Chains A and B, each alone.
Chain A
Amino acid sequence: KQEVTQIPAALSVPEGENLVLNCSFTDSAIYNLQWFRQDPGKGLTSLLLIQSSQREQTSGRLNASLDKSSGRSTLYIAASQPGDSATYLCAAIYAGGTSYGKLTFGQGTILTVHP
């Protein structure tokens, strides 16, 4: 069974801190991994997409890494700001069999950045 786990479930940090969100997946045969942000009552905003052939992607203050062999991905947020407060979701994308093209989501990490 393909499962995605995110740790921690919640994180509260003061503004300015660098932080790391963790995502692990049980099936290393992923095709891509995508990180999303969800604000309360809203849809998902794509942050970064890492293809299986890549090890990391960067966008502004965000950096996501992917290690297929260990089944892990991390999202690094530099110099956190109160506007970064949201739920962060990682999703594994598989290319084979009945999981073709589907996203398997983790439970999310609720991030609160206080001034």
Chain B
Amino acid sequence: GAVVSQHPSRVICKSGTSVKIECRSLDFQATTMFWYRQFPKQSLMLMATSNEGSKATYEQGVEKDKFLINHASLTLSTLTVTSAHPEDSSFYICSARPPSPGQGRWRPYGYTFGSGTRLTVV
């Protein structure tokens, strides 16, 4: 249980185009999803928190107009990299937090991550 599916796993696009990455929770509802970025040999950096039915919360230094996040349902969040440039090339990973069984209020549970998307902008 608690599987997060991320697509595509790899994408190459031309500079100036936009790319959409999908993150789906397969067997649970996720009111909150997180988007991370990872550069080679570095750890994960949180980009934004995606909230179902409301605007995403971006971390300091992340351009909200460049990285558009949509969380239209309880099982799907999307990250769109707009007008991509070579410096946007990176590994993007999403995460979701499954609810604890039988718990109505928020309670931290094991975070589950997608398999990641390798974006290369040429």
Contact = CB atoms under 8 A, between A and B. Distances in A.
Interface of A: 31-32, 34, 36, 41-46, 49, 51, 89, 91, 93, 95, 101-103, 105-108
B102 interface: no
Contacts of B93: 43-44
B118 A41 contact: yes
Interface string B30-70: 00101000000011101001000000000000000000000
Nearest to B10: A41
- 7 A-B pairs with the lowest CB-CB distances in the bound complex, closest first: A44-B113, A43-B115, A49-B110, A43-B116, A105-B43, A43-B113, A32-B108
Q: Is the interface of A mostly helix, strand, loop or mixed?
A: strand
Interface in B102-122: 106, 108-116, 118
Contacts of B91: 41
A93 to B, nearest CB: 5
Given A95-B108, A102-B49, A103-B95, A43 B114 contact: yes
Contacts, number: 53
A39 to B, nearest CB: 10
A105 B116 contact: no
Nearest to B59: A102
A107 B42 contact: yes
Given A103-B46, A107-B43, A46 B110 contact: yes
Nearest to A93: B108
Residue from B42, B97, B111 with most neighbouring chain A CB atoms (10 Å): B111
